[in-house]
Chains A and B, each alone.
Chain A
Amino acid sequence: MSTRPDAISDPTFPAARRPDAIKAIPVRHPWRWVLAVVVLAAGAAVVYTFASAPLLHWSVVGQFLFFPEILNGLLVTLELTVIAMLIGVILGVILAVMRLSVNPVVSSVSWFYIWFFRGTPVLVQIFFWFNIATILPYLHIGIPFTHLVWVGTTNNLITPFLAAILGLGLNEAAYMSEIVRAGIISVDTGQSEAAQALGMTRVLVMRRIVLPQAMRVIIPPTGNETISMLKTSSLAYIATVSELFFIQKEISNFNYDIIELAIVASIWYLAMTSVLTFGQYYVERYFARGASRQLPPTPLQRFRRLLFHFHEPPAPVGPIEPPPIYPHHVL
């Protein structure tokens, strides 16, 4: 056989005789080895220094890792993340569409919202909602020109949890709307033209043609935002919400094992972000369909390739373009 057994070729024309594969002696790279050893040694030294710190009690870490209060805090952190991201995504899509509206009032309102909520720290925003009762002790919600009015004390309505949700969610919406807008703009105008030429209305074009294609650009930064939100949610401690960070701080206030409990919290944060990172691959793959000829390998496939096919050339890593870079919001 002159061709590789797995080669795909057109049998119509006979191929020329295939010469023997090239067998060359590879170039040696001694400095790569030296550098690898230096980096590993430095890393090991840092890890050893902390792991063997004389006053660090690993047993305390183990003791509190599955402590019921900690697990409860974990749950609250997840709730905060999910609800705040939901608000962020839904409101973000609305704001993005508003921003692209032909109505100047509507697009300016969206611009102003983004300017305000992106321009103030999320910590301040949570703090604001938490203390809103100091300026608005009572809330009146009524239907104009009727006598239907609901009056309530602000403190009853805006619980610490809600204050945190409002702060995190409204802030996130400002960032998400810019991500969604970038996604919408990235879709070729020929797409909406073709859809319009078929008689589709503006809403239908957006929903069926533009947004599904924009998703490919929207998903990777949204994954980043979710991972970021998981950690940013720790700011809810300022509103006394009993999430993971608040709980570990409460415990260490008692037992003074400050670093040990910070490690417990870090382990859980790392575990959660790892799961999210893993899940992101699959969502990206789903929305990449049709966009590329070959889907990028899943993490599992990559791992297997690494183990069993070490010497093969790397798989074509995804056609998924690098996500646009957004200046990441600082706390």
Chain B
Amino acid sequence: MATPMVLAESVFKCYGRLEVLRGINLSVAPREVLCIVGPSGSGKSTFLRCINHLEKIDAGRLSVDGELVGYRQRGDKIYELPDREVCRKRAEIGMVFQRFNLFPHMTALENVMEAPLRVKGEPQKVVEERGRSLLARVGLGDKVDVYPNHLSGGQQQRVAIARALAMQPKLMLFDEPTSALDPELVGDVLDVMRGLAQDGMTMVVVTHEMGFAREVGDSLAFMDGGVIVESGNPREVIANPQHERTRSFLSKVL
């Protein structure tokens, strides 16, 4: 079996005395699309942020592509990674946020080009060409020189996806990418994500879009209270949930 892209074993995370993650176990294979659903406050977003070390985990093990996140193991000892190493690892993981977080002082194309230029130090010409083709791919070929403020929410989120893809990541994390969008605009963003999945991108998607989870997801995890209550094939979990908690949640969102 190939190395899982993401492997979590008993991952714990607390803020002060509040335990947000209480033993997460899961694995995501390369080219797999995992959707995580659950009520707000269940720890979905926190877990996602742990995967690229925006949050530190307190106990357990979390690795991406066979390497621990934020740490290095030598023998029995675990060493914290220096900032530069953490940054290098993050550069291999793309992340898309609920609130887009585009850089407002840069045009769409500049947003997309920033990290490949400054972090990877790739040549301007290559980056610009890739940036333009990525923006075209997400359907914004005519918006390259527009500032984020002049774009609709759906367009901004597609620029954000293009920005993450410009780093040619091996894993994409989506943190409720459509939750801040008007219902009419959700479809465009989901179409882009569907295309990504078809191209074989490994994705972890925190979402409330059950239709997307059922249709595009290879697996589905239902989280509540900091643990994974139930997981499996999305169609089966949605059609025939085993746990009472899953059943009551699904009855409300479907």
Question: What residues make up the interface of A, taking CB atoms closer than 8 Å to B?
Answer: 188, 190-191, 193-202, 204, 208-209, 212-213, 289-293
Stretch from B147-155, B234-242, B245-253 at the A interface: B147-155
Q: What distance in Å separates the Cβ of A199 from its nearest Cβ neighbour in chain B?
A: 3
The answer, yes or no, to whether B66 is at the interface (CB within 8 Å) is no
Report chain A residues within 8 Å CB of B164: 197-198
Report chain B residues within 8 Å CB of A289: 105, 147
Q: What distance in Å separates the Cβ of B20 from its nearest Cβ neighbour in chain A?
A: 17
Find B115's partner among A193, A200, A202 (CB 8 Å cutoff): A200
Q: What distance in Å separates the Cβ of B233 from its nearest Cβ neighbour in chain A?
A: 30
The answer, yes or no, to whether B162 is at the interface (CB within 8 Å) is no
Q: CB distance B91 to A198 under 8 Å? A: yes
**What are 20 inter-chain pairs, A to B, with CB distance below 8 A?**
A190-B97, A190-B99, A190-B101, A193-B97, A193-B101, A194-B103, A194-B160, A196-B90, A197-B93, A198-B90, A198-B115, A199-B88, A199-B89, A199-B92, A201-B83, A201-B87, A213-B103, A213-B104, A213-B105, A289-B105
Find A199's partner among B91, B102, B103 (CB 8 Å cutoff): B91
Report chain A residues within 8 Å CB of B147: 289-290
Q: What distance in Å separates the Cβ of B141 from its nearest Cβ neighbour in chain A?
A: 20
A190–B96 Cα distance when bound, in Å, is 11
Q: What distance in Å separates the Cβ of B75 from its nearest Cβ neighbour in chain A?
A: 28
**A202-B101 CB under 8 A given contacts A197-B95, A291-B149:** no
Identify the 8 closest CB pairs spanning chains A and B, nearest first.
A199-B91, A194-B101, A198-B115, A197-B95, A290-B147, A190-B101, A199-B90, A290-B105
Closest chain B residue, CB of each to CB of A291: B104
Q: CB distance A198 to B114 under 8 Å? A: yes
The answer, yes or no, to whether B17 is at the interface (CB within 8 Å) is no
**A200-B148 CB under 8 A given contacts A194-B97, A290-B105:** no
Within 8 A of A (CB), among B154-208: 160, 163-164, 167
Closest chain B residue, CB of each to CB of A198: B115
A292–B147 Cα distance when bound, in Å, is 9
Report chain B residues within 8 Å CB of A198: 90-91, 114-115, 119, 163-164, 167
By CB atoms of chain A within 10 A, which of B52, B105, B150, B163 has the most?
A: B105
What is the size category of the interface that chain B forms with chain A? 20 to 34
Report chain A residues within 8 Å CB of B148: 290
Question: What residues make up the interface of B, taking CB atoms closer than 8 Å to A?
Answer: 52, 54, 83-84, 87-95, 97, 99, 101-107, 114-115, 118-119, 147-150, 160, 163-164, 167
Q: CB distance A293 to B87 under 8 Å? A: no
Report chain A residues within 8 Å CB of B103: 191, 194-195, 209, 213
Majority SS at the chain A contact face: helix
Q: What distance in Å separates the Cβ of A198 from its nearest Cβ neighbour in chain B?
A: 4
Q: CB distance B88 to A290 under 8 Å? A: no
Report chain B residues within 8 Å CB of A208: 114, 118
By CB atoms of chain A within 10 A, which of B84, B102, B118 has the most?
A: B118
Find B118's partner among A188, A200, A291, A292 (CB 8 Å cutoff): A200
Q: What distance in Å separates the Cβ of A257 from its nearest Cβ neighbour in chain B?
A: 53
Q: What distance in Å separates the Cβ of B122 from its nearest Cβ neighbour in chain A?
A: 13
Report chain A residues within 8 Å CB of B104: 213, 290-291
Closest chain B residue, CB of each to CB of A204: B118
Q: What distance in Å separates the Cβ of A216 from its nearest Cβ neighbour in chain B?
A: 8
